[in-house]
Amino acid sequence: MSALVPPRSWVTSANGHLDFALQNLPFGIFRRAASNEAPRVGVAIGDAILDVAACLAAGLFDEQSELTRQAARTCASPALNALMALGADARRALRDAVMALLHEDCAVHRQQIAQHALVPQQDAELFLPAQVGDYTDFYASVHHATNVGAMFRPDNPLLPNYKWVPIGYHGRASSLVVSGTPVRRPNGQRKGPTDDVPTVGPSRSLDYELELGAFVGTGNALGEPIPMASAESHLWGLCLLNDWSARDLQAWEYQPLGPFLAKNFASTISPWVVTLEALAPFRAPLAPRASGDPEPLPYLTDARDATQGGFALTVEVWLRTPRMRDEQAPPVRISQGSALDLYWSFAQMLAHHASSGCNLRPGDLLGSGTISGATPDSRGCLLELTRRGAEPLSLPNGETRGFLLDGDEITMTAYAERDGVGRIGFGRCVGEVRAAPALAGT
């Protein structure tokens, strides 16, 4: 018998693809670039995108279940919300049908698909995958919370609630942008420890934050909590999230109600939503809690979640400065961590979120918070990597960075690989920093 091998596609670029092999099949929203086409649902396969609505129109789902066809009928819309609202069974049904169409064993329709329903990614424009009604950002890495706390509150780095409460806060939905959108440096108030009064101007401490985002599938009614036992069934898929942060604004504004302008100028997400099915082979327990830490309270406890609540994803941040671009040098990796280095699972975050009765809606986005590990090279933001700018990064070309300068480009990636399963990746989450706009009165 042959060893287990990943499935192969007749879309040859998919086989061995670092991100979008047949076993991944992430969903997104696309159209041909510079066209008047309506944005619609696509599935990434190798270097191409499968147009799901075009497959439906061509009758390629005629033999499928009603659930599959119902799911496919949502794919003419310019956001994944309607598909997400159908829940996990519909996602699985559609994914299975798409996988069958793209599998190397599918001989019948491949000509038709290749001609009418495959768009090269290089010819496509990608959009936000969902219309995000509410965006919530958590703070689920205990290493991040400890490192940051030590800088903002040296006497009190990790607050007493951290190991009991999956700390989170409401973020800004309007300023979520898709990978590739330039990010303007924000203006704002900042007041250094030796300043008498605050000043206003472009942030001097612009940072990125490496996060995963989880999209909500089916929601819950207001006033109806989601128990841990079913929390996972409300998760639809994951993306990369860069929660850009202006540290000088944050330090001055964040008490007592939390970060506001320091975060709401932009948050970038990757265009492809990786489904829980693609991630299933990479489920694992989160890094163990330190000895002496409390067990999660019962409403945050689930046996399955305890053993496979995490995602064994490698997450990376890459920096390219304007000089590197001028010199045609490639981006340099500045951190590498693991998505298992979280103290709370997404299921716990979701169950906690709904425990108050708060209603989650299809397409809502939950951010993990900055993913930092125990080692210095796994710190997920410059605030931690450079100790608030005091120990700047040294780049191979001799440049240094304490925080981001205009023109700097940050790229985030995530991937997982296993023998027999193959590799899946998230694609890229990219943003380039642009100069701050003029602000009247400054």
**Which of residues 267 and 321 has its CB atom nearest to a second copy in the complex?**
267
Is 267 one of the annotated binding-site residues? yes
Is 372 one of the annotated binding-site residues? no
**Which of residues 224 and 391 has its CB atom nearest to a second copy in the complex?**
224
Q: Taking the complex as a whole, how short is the minimal distance between the CB of residue 436 and a second copy, in angstroms?
A: 8
Query: How far is Cα 233 from Cα 213, in angstroms, rounded to an integer?
Result: 16
**Which of residues 418 and 434 has its CB atom nearest to a second copy in the complex?**
434
**Which of residues 13 and 359 has its CB atom nearest to a second copy in the complex?**
359
Q: Taking the complex as a whole, how short is the minimal distance between the CB of residue 208 and a second copy, in angstroms?
A: 16
**Which of residues 92 and 191 has its CB atom nearest to a second copy in the complex?**
191
Given the residues 17, 143, 144, 234, the one annotated as active site: 144
Is 230 one of the annotated binding-site residues? no
Q: Taking the complex as a whole, how short is the minimal distance between the CB of residue 253 and a second copy, in angstroms?
A: 5
Query: How far is Cα 90 from Cα 166, in angstroms, rounded to an integer?
Result: 30
Is 243 one of the annotated binding-site residues? yes
Q: Taking the complex as a whole, how short is the minimal distance between the CB of residue 377 and a second copy, in angstroms?
A: 25
**Which of residues 10 and 344 has its CB atom nearest to a second copy in the complex?**
344
Q: Taking the complex as a whole, how short is the minimal distance between the CB of residue 30 and a second copy, in angstroms?
A: 21
Active site residue 144: yes
Residues found in the chain: 442
Q: Taking the complex as a whole, how short is the minimal distance between the CB of residue 404 and a second copy, in angstroms?
A: 15
Cα-flanking dihedrals φ and ψ of residue 299, to 5°?
-70, -5
Is 137 one of the annotated binding-site residues? yes
Query: How far is Cα 366 from Cα 137, in angstroms, rounded to an integer?
Result: 6
**Which of residues 187 and 270 has its CB atom nearest to a second copy in the complex?**
187
Write out the chain in H/E/C secondary structure.
Answer: CCCCCCCCECCHHHCCCCCCCCCCCCEEEEEECCCCCCCEEEEEECCEEEEHHHHHHCCCCCCCCHHHHHHHHHHHCCCCHHHHHCHHHHHHHHHHHHHHHHECCCCCCHHHHHHHCEEEHHHEEEECCCCCCCEEEECCCHHHHHHHHHHHCCCCCCCCCCCCCCCEEECCCCCEEECCCCEECCEEEECCCCCCCCEEEECCCEECCEEEEEEECCCCCCCCCCCHHHHHHHEEEEEEEECCEEHHHHHHHCCCCCCCCCCCCCEEECCCEEEHHHHHHHEECCCCCCCCCCCCCHHHCCHHHHHHCEECCEEEEEEECHHHHHCCCCCEEEEEEECCCCCCCHHHHHHHHHHCCCCCCCCCEEECCCCCCCCHHHCCCHHHHCCCCCCCEECCCCCEECCCCCCCEEEEEEEEEECCCEEEECCCEEEEEECCCCCCCC
Beta strand pairing call for 274-275 and 314-320: unpaired
Is 153 one of the annotated binding-site residues? yes
Is 250 one of the annotated binding-site residues? yes
Q: Taking the complex as a whole, how short is the minimal distance between the CB of residue 266 and a second copy, in angstroms?
A: 7
Is 299 one of the annotated binding-site residues? no
Instruction: Give me the active site residues, please.
Output: 144
Write out the binding residues for Ca(2+). 137, 209, 211, 243
Q: Residue ranges for the binding site?
A: 137, 139, 153, 209, 211, 243, 250, 254, 263, 267, 370
Known binding residues for substrate? 139, 153, 250, 254, 370
